[in-house]
């Protein structure tokens, strides 16, 4: 019986929706639009704003490892990550390769409220982006960080994690998201 966890999670969602007026949720058209490239100056400004909101969100919920510009109603190609106490700003990112090897993970998204879903994605990716000095960076990412980056990148394409859910896996979040592990596909 998961009724109590559903009530707890729904109350937290209500608190978040009230506390973060900039957040947009599925059903808002901004989350379905492809973003436009940002100038470096714009990208830095947007990135800093995303970082400060994400840090505040983490303080409130204990979770939250990434945030993309459309999620706060900005139609530009910028997202940020917050992992191991380190923040990164990615401006105009482009995934240039993806591994054949895939894995599964139950993904949560603050734009999807209280629901999560199991999604299959490549284990390793290469991405290029502009950093805050305007320099082009190219790096390979694998494991959880690759997963996180692909989730945020999808927001820039107007795609939500629930769009890519494995059949019959969309569920209320009733266990600790931080305990989720990548599973081989």
**CB neighbours (10 Å) of residue 97?**
10
Question: Considering the complex, what minimum distance in angstroms separates the CB of residue 160 from Zn ion?
Answer: 7
- Number of residues forming the site for Zn ion (CB under 5 A): 1
Q: Is 117 in the site for Zn ion (CB under 5 A)?
A: no
Stretch of 5-13, 19-27, 79-87, 108-116 lying at the interface with Zn ion (CB under 5 A):
108-116
Question: Considering the complex, what minimum distance in angstroms separates the CB of residue 4 from Zn ion?
Answer: 26
Query: Which of 109, 125, 148, 173 touches Zn ion by CB under 5 A?
Result: 109
Nearer to Zn ion, 78 or 109 (CB): 109
- Helix crossing, 3-19 with 40-61: angle to 10°? 140
Q: Is 51 annotated as a binding residue?
A: no
Q: Is 155 annotated as a binding residue?
A: yes
Nearer to Zn ion, 40 or 171 (CB): 171
CA separation for the pair 133, 41 (Å, rounded): 9
Q: Is 148 in the site for Zn ion (CB under 5 A)?
A: no
Count of residues making up the chain: 185
Site for Zn ion in 12-51 (CB under 5 A): none
Nearer to Zn ion, 6 or 115 (CB): 115
CA separation for the pair 57, 48 (Å, rounded): 14
Q: Is 80 in the site for Zn ion (CB under 5 A)?
A: no
Q: Which residues are part of the catalytic machinery?
A: 152
Q: Is 154 annotated as a binding residue?
A: no
Identify the CA nearest to 66 among candidates 132, 154, 129.
154
Q: Does residue 129 come out as left (phi exceeding 0), alpha (psi in the -120 to 50 range) or beta?
A: beta
184 beta partners: 103
Q: 183 with 105: CB under 8 angstroms?
A: yes
- Which residues are at the interface with Zn ion (CB under 5 A)? 109
Binding residues for Fe cation: 109, 151, 155
């Amino acid at each position: 019986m998961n009724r109590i966890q559903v009530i707890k999670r729904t109350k937290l969602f209500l608190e978040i929706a009230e506390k973060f007026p900039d957040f947009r949720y599925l059903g808002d058209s901004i989350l379905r639009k492809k973003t436009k490239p940002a100038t470096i100056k714009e990208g830095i400004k947007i990135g800093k704003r995303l970082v400060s909101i994400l840090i505040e969100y983490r303080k409130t919920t204990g979770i939250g490892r990434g945030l993309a510009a459309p999620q706060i109603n900005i139609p530009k190609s910028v997202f940020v990550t917050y992992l191991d106490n380190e923040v990164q700003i990615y401006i105009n990112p482009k995934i240039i390769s993806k591994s054949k090897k895939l894995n599964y993970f139950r993904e949560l998204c603050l734009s999807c409220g209280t629901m999560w879903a199991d999604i299959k994605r490549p284990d390793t990716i290469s991405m290029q982006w502009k950093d805050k000095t305007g320099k082009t960076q190219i790096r390979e990412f694998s494991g959880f960080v690759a997963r996180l980056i692909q989730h945020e990148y999808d927001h820039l394409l107007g795609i939500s994690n629930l769009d890519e859910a494995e059949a019959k896996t969309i569920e209320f979040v009733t266990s600790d998201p931080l305990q989720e592990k990548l599973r081989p596909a």
